[in-house]
Amino acid sequence: MLTRSALLWLSGHEGVKDFAARFSFFKKLTSRFVAGETLDEVVPFIRELNTENCSASFDHLNESVESAVEAGREVEEYLKILAQIDQSKLRSNVSIKLTQFGLGLDPELAYQNARRVVEEAHGRGNFVRVDMEDSNVTQVTIDIFKRLRAEFGLNDVGIVLQSYLRRTLDDAQELVKLPARIRICKGAYNEPPEVAFPDKKDTDDNYVKVMQLLLSSGVYHGIATHDPKMIDATIDFATREGIGKEKYEFQMLYGVRRDLQRQLSRDGFNMRVYVPYGKHWYPYFMRRLAERPANIWFVMKNVLKG
């Protein structure tokens, strides 16, 4: 049986991607987690979320680009998304990955590209969330974010921290002082024990510590999780501290726990759904499989059925 780390390893291997993509069932399965391949296909999903009182975050999938030209095309796509949000009056912001903007080629290129998108968002009164990738790029992602944050406002650009990283509580303490809008999540990559807690309980305990720090800071943060324990801990803490529902938002992924998304939104909590789309769905999809063994069985059943 494929383990979490084996799936995460596979997520980074292009050869496997090309092999897997030949099977139409595999592509079909991606639709559970990926809203479509083009911007036009995704807009109706976001509109539907908005009618259910959920906001969204567009994510164009294409991490680790290999040329400056490709990175430039990603910038163009995000400028198109921001224009589309305005034109269609959607309640949505955008999430970007710095490797998508050329971080692996040249950090300065990634900064300049991210800057163009944040500047556009600023002009349109929108917001850019810088996703966090694997621990090789944690520091450079934070450094680039700080440069952006120094130039733009609190409500123009935010960042993500991962509670499985040992360094995260320190990072959170430093970043809230800027101040900065932070999305806390558990973390989705394959990390060695030197940098990340191998034990889920430590990741969860750290999540609660960071969540409490964020909620106490008075800034509007994102609590990204599908874990009922983390959600209950957030609601309990906020209630105890007299922190209103309007002061933070829950965030979940497209295709995961739609029932819980609807429930929280009906209960009056702010709910944002992260909606990925694009042709380069493979690494994102594999990370979602790795998060939950039942998803792997779902794939295996379809393979066996032919």
Ligand X SMILES: Cc1cc2nc3c(=O)[nH]c(=O)nc-3n(C[C@H](O)[C@H](O)[C@H](O)COP(=O)(O)OP(=O)(O)OC[C@H]3O[C@@H](n4cnc5c(N)ncnc54)[C@H](O)[C@@H]3O)c2cc1C
Q: State in angstroms the smallest separation of the CB of 272 from ligand X.
A: 7
Q: Are 85 and 114 in contact (CB under 8 A)?
A: no
Question: What distance in Å separates the CA atoms of residue 66 and residue 57, rounded to the nearest whole number?
Answer: 25
Catalytic-residue membership of 131: yes
Which among 131, 134, 156, 204 is annotated as catalytic?
131
Question: Cα–chain-centroid distance for residue 2?
Answer: 24
**Which of the ranges 2-10, 22-30, 184-192, 278-286 carries the binding residues for ligand X, by CB under 6 A?**
184-192
Beta bridge partners of 276: 59
Which tokens hold the place of 80?
Answer: 């198109």
* Residue 115 falls in the annotated catalytic set: no
Residues 115-134: x/- map of binding to ligand X (CB under 6 A)?
Answer: ----------------xx--
- Residue closer to ligand X, measured from CB, 187 or 283: 187
Angle at 187 between CA 181 and CA 188, to 5 degrees: 130
- Residue 252 found at the interface with ligand X (CB under 6 A): yes
Q: What are phi and psi of 250, to 5 degrees?
A: -90, 150
Q: Which is nearer to ligand X, 31 or 67 (CB)?
A: 31
Query: From the CB of residue 244, how many other CB atoms can be counted at a distance below 10 Å?
Result: 8
Q: How far is the CB of 265 from ligand X (least distance, A)?
A: 14
Inter-CA distances, 304 with 25, 26, 89, Å: 11, 12, 44
User: Applying CB under 6 A, does 264 fall inside the site for ligand X?
Assistant: no
- Choice between 219 and 275, CB closer to ligand X: 275
Number of residues that bind ligand X (CB under 6 A): 24
Select from 104-112, 115-123, 140-148, 287-295 the region that touches ligand X (CB under 6 A): 287-295
Rounded to the nearest whole angstrom, what is the least distance from the CB of residue 228 to ligand X in the complex?
7
Cα distance between residue 234 and residue 133, in whole Å = 24
Task: State the CB neighbour count (10 A cutoff) for residue 5.
Answer: 11
Return residues touching ligand X (CB under 6 A): 131-132, 160, 162, 185-189, 224-227, 230, 251-253, 256-257, 274, 288, 291-292, 295
